[in-house]
Amino acid sequence: MLSAGPELLAIPGPSVMPSRVMREFSRPMVDIYAGELVEITDEIERILPAVAGSSGHLFIAIGNGHAAWEMALTNTLSKDDRVLVVNCGVFAAVWGEMAAFMGVEVDRIDAEPGRASDPAEVGRVLAADREHTIKAVLTVQGDTASSARNDIPAIRRAIDEVNHPALLMVDTIASLGCEPFEMDAWGVDLVVAASQKGMMTPPGLGFNIVGERALAASARADLRTYYWDWTSRRDRSVYYKRFCGTPPVSHLFALREALRMIDEEGLAARYARHRVLAGAVHAAVEAWAASTDLRLNIADPAERCQSVTTITTGSVDAEAIRRICCERLGAVLGIGFADSSFRIGHMGHVNAPSVLAAVGAVETALHELGECIDQSGVAAATHHLAGVSAR
Ligand SMILES: *Cc1c(COP(=O)(O)O)cnc(C)c1O
């Protein structure tokens, strides 16, 4: 009854797409050998790495984040190589499963539940690898399942302190465009990203942003396949080779428009917006925590993602919250990976009303479930957005 009207999508990807971006999908096809499309692709290859603070080379996979993972692994590794997976939730572990499937030996360190990864532990594992058999460290900036954010510069320092030559490869699929990332300054060798979260472009494009050391590794990597091989995709003489076949014409139009929007807003303003919106959601959960079992999954504010919030619900039925929000109110929240939890996505094309609507829907559901709310999460969120304390 209350759910007619525009649905609120508050899942952590795909995120809400700007109509400016969606309009690009209605444009007719163009020549794929010369002209506008080639210029647009050149522009994307110039601009997108800068969003990750990189002067590296961009390779675009026609596929999702998993495709970009596979492109990264096949181009840098050989069968029987070892990698160290630094996991703080779900996604780095799955990237590691993909490597294992290819015949790579995978060591993994898991963060404590509710925490980001411990860089000191990375240092300890690498220090013990005196023969330097570990070829790469695979990790995520933000884990979309747990909402933990890793300290990438600290992980780089841990690698450098033990003089280990492993490549540092970082999945920024859920964080690129939402929080600061400085690939060159932080010494990251390869960044994996995708279109459908902070980059505000529908699912279908994956990205590898590649530095010199990772490019050099690709000369020796025997897991390379004809389709994913960076070498032929780098051949500037034939545009068709950049995608190993027909380019994703409409997605390229759309991505170029999204990059324009990112440029118009400015990265610093974008990061500040995500920080304040995330803070509003966090403030709401902390208010609910005063009288209910709801808690932020990540206790330490410094270890929280700015693009997604995982909320554990204890004795409160997380699925009932999601069901009421979706079916009765028209707000779609993200499923939880762990038992009794759910997630609110706040990435990309989101603003104050978006997070207030999500928080308001959850609070309404809590009332319906008979929870006693001593401190309103909606009030806490509005105070946070107004820049004043609720107390
Ligand atoms: C969404 C996500 C993925 C998976 O991306 P797909 O496009 O679904 O393959 C991987 N890593 C992180 C951190 C993500 O948020």
Q: What is the pLDDT of residues 335-368, one digit of tens each?
A: 999 879 999 999 999 999 999 999 999 999 999 9
Q: How many angstroms separate the alpha carbon of residue 305 from the centre of ligand 1?
A: 14
- Sign of the four-CA dihedral 192, 51, 277, 14: negative
- Over 50: is that where the pLDDT of 391 sits? no
Q: How many angstroms separate the alpha carbon of residue 2 from the centre of ligand 1?
A: 32
DSSP 8-state symbol, 29: P
- For 112-170, give the secondary structure using H, E and C: CCCCCCCHHHHHHHHHHCCCCCEEEEEEECECCCCCEECCHHHHHHHHHHCCCCCEEEE
| pLDDT tens sequence across 88-121 | 999 999 999 999 999 999 999 999 999 999 999 9
Split at pLDDT 50, 70, 90, the class of 389 is low
| pLDDT tens sequence across 184-196 | 999 999 999 999 9
Ligand 1 probe mutation, 60, 87, 91, 172, most atoms within 8 A of CB: 91
Q: How many angstroms separate the alpha carbon of residue 278 from the centre of ligand 1?
A: 19
Closest Cα to atom 12 of ligand 1: 173
Q: How many angstroms separate the alpha carbon of residue 99 from the centre of ligand 1?
A: 16
State the Cα–Cα distance between residues 286 and 291, nearest whole angstrom: 10
Q: How many angstroms separate the alpha carbon of residue 66 from the centre of ligand 1?
A: 7
Look at the block and give the residue holding tokens 């706040």.
346
Q: How many angstroms separate the alpha carbon of residue 386 from the centre of ligand 1?
A: 33
State the Cα–Cα distance between residues 311 and 242, nearest whole angstrom: 41
What are the tokens at 358? 């999500």
pLDDT at 387: 84
State the Cα–Cα distance between residues 224 and 289, nearest whole angstrom: 50
Task: Report the pLDDT averaged over residues 270-295.
Answer: 98
Which atom of ligand 1 lies at the shortest distance from residue 91's CA? Answer: 11
Taking the mean position of all CA atoms in its chain, how far away is CA 373? 32
- Over 80: is that where the pLDDT of 390 sits? no
**Residue 375 CB: number of other CB atoms within 10 A?**
16
State the Cα–Cα distance between residues 246 and 238, nearest whole angstrom: 12
* Nearest partner of 242 among 24, 38, 27, 29, judged by Cα: 38
Split at pLDDT 50, 70, 90, the class of 238 is very high
Residues with CB under 6 A from ligand 1: 13, 64-66, 91, 140, 143-144, 171, 173-174, 194, 203
Closest Cα to atom 15 of ligand 1: 174
Q: How many angstroms separate the alpha carbon of residue 193 from the centre of ligand 1?
A: 8
State what percent of residues in the chain have pLDDT above 90: 97
Q: How many angstroms separate the alpha carbon of residue 320 from the centre of ligand 1?
A: 26
State what percent of residues in the chain have pLDDT above 70: 99
Q: How many angstroms separate the alpha carbon of residue 324 from the centre of ligand 1?
A: 26
Which atom of ligand 1 lies at the shortest distance from residue 141's CA? Answer: 13
Q: How many angstroms separate the alpha carbon of residue 13 from the centre of ligand 1?
A: 8
Split at pLDDT 50, 70, 90, the class of 144 is very high
319-327: long-range pairs with CB below 8 Å, 24+: 320/365, 320/369, 321/362, 321/365, 321/366, 321/369, 324/364, 324/365, 324/368, 324/369, 325/361, 325/362, 325/364, 325/365, 326/3, 327/3
* Nearest partner of 26 among 256, 262, 254, judged by Cα: 254
Torsion, Cα 45 46 51 56, to 10 degrees, reads 80
* Nearest partner of 74 among 190, 188, 164, 183, judged by Cα: 190
Which atom of ligand 1 lies at the shortest distance from residue 206's CA? Answer: 7
Which atom of ligand 1 lies at the shortest distance from residue 203's CA? Answer: 7
- Over 90: is that where the pLDDT of 19 sits? yes
State the Cα–Cα distance between residues 311 and 296, nearest whole angstrom: 5
Look at the block and give the residue holding tokens 């080779």.
241
Ligand 1 probe mutation, 138, 173, 178, 308, most atoms within 8 A of CB: 173
Task: Report the pLDDT averaged over residues 117-132.
Answer: 98
pLDDT at 338: 84
Instruction: Give the up-direction half-sphere exposure of residue 55: CA atoms within 13 A in the CB hemisphere.
Output: 4
State the Cα–Cα distance between residues 351 and 51, nearest whole angstrom: 20
State the Cα–Cα distance between residues 1 and 228, nearest whole angstrom: 49
Three-class SS of residue 222?
A: coil
Which atom of ligand 1 lies at the shortest distance from residue 140's CA? Answer: 13
* Nearest partner of 129 among 73, 65, 81, judged by Cα: 81
How many helices (H) and strands (E) would you count in the chain? 14, 12
